[in-house]
Homo-oligomer: A and B are copies of this chain.
Amino acid sequence: MPTIEPRKLPRQQRSKATVQAILDACAEGLQSRGYHGLTTHAIAMRAGASVGTLYQYFPNRDAVAGALVVRSMERLLETMRGALAECVERGLAGQAATEHLLLSALHVLVEERPVFSRLGAEAPHLFRLPAAVAAASQLIHMSQEIRLTSGNQLDLPMPEADAWIIGHMVSASMMQISLLEGPEEERRKLTREVARLTCRMALSRVSESSASVAAAAA
């Protein structure tokens, strides 16, 4: 079980830039060749450095990708914090809030596309790194806070299952949408739809009695 902890911290200005360049290069390489097809030489070269330099800051390839995951998760977290603050500030709620939050998330997902889609699929273990898990759990805390804040009605008969399903449905949709290559406008539209449908799913329970009648009729 090889460690993945950063090998040494860059002290000088020059080396800090190098480390960031390596992470950027890793993300770019991920996009075009996937994680398995991505060599440490390729990463270093794209970062304008040599392999040796890469290995001075990271003990192995996984450590590079792991650091990238953490950086992306933290960016997502930071963004969501900001978005939540804006919701509160602007008094957004319900579908409007959902939409704002989803669009904010989408923005990061798009920017960090290779990290979330490629690494999520090819190296899911990197998302179980302590730092990544920490960021994820803070995100979850946030989403609970959102519910309380917006005082919504999500107390359902089978709440965990629903939450689990809806959560996965939404995140899967967002992931798929983030993969669209077209113009941003397209993604924005789809995100709005997801927000709308999500709210429907969540709220549908309220009118359970009447709805079930319609469903049975269908």
Q: Which residue of B lies closest to A151 (CB)?
A: B218
A172 within 8 Å of B (CB atoms): yes
A107 within 8 Å of B (CB atoms): no
Copies of this protein, total: 4
The distance in angstroms between the C-alpha atoms of A97 and B199, with both chains bound, is 24
A214 within 8 Å of B (CB atoms): yes
| Interface residue tally on A, bucketed by range | 35 or more
Q: Are the CB atoms of B189 and A215 closer together than 8 Å?
A: no
Stretch at the interface among A21-29, A127-135, A157-165: A157-165
CB distance from A29 to the nearest CB of B (A): 16
The distance in angstroms between the C-alpha atoms of A215 and B93, with both chains bound, is 9
Q: Are the CB atoms of A200 and B204 closer together than 8 Å?
A: yes
Most chain B Cβ neighbours within 10 Å, of A164, A166, A168, A216: A168
Interface string of A55-97 (1 = CB under 8 A from B): 0000000000000000000000000000000000000011110
CB distance from A158 to the nearest CB of B (A): 7
A203 within 8 Å of B (CB atoms): yes
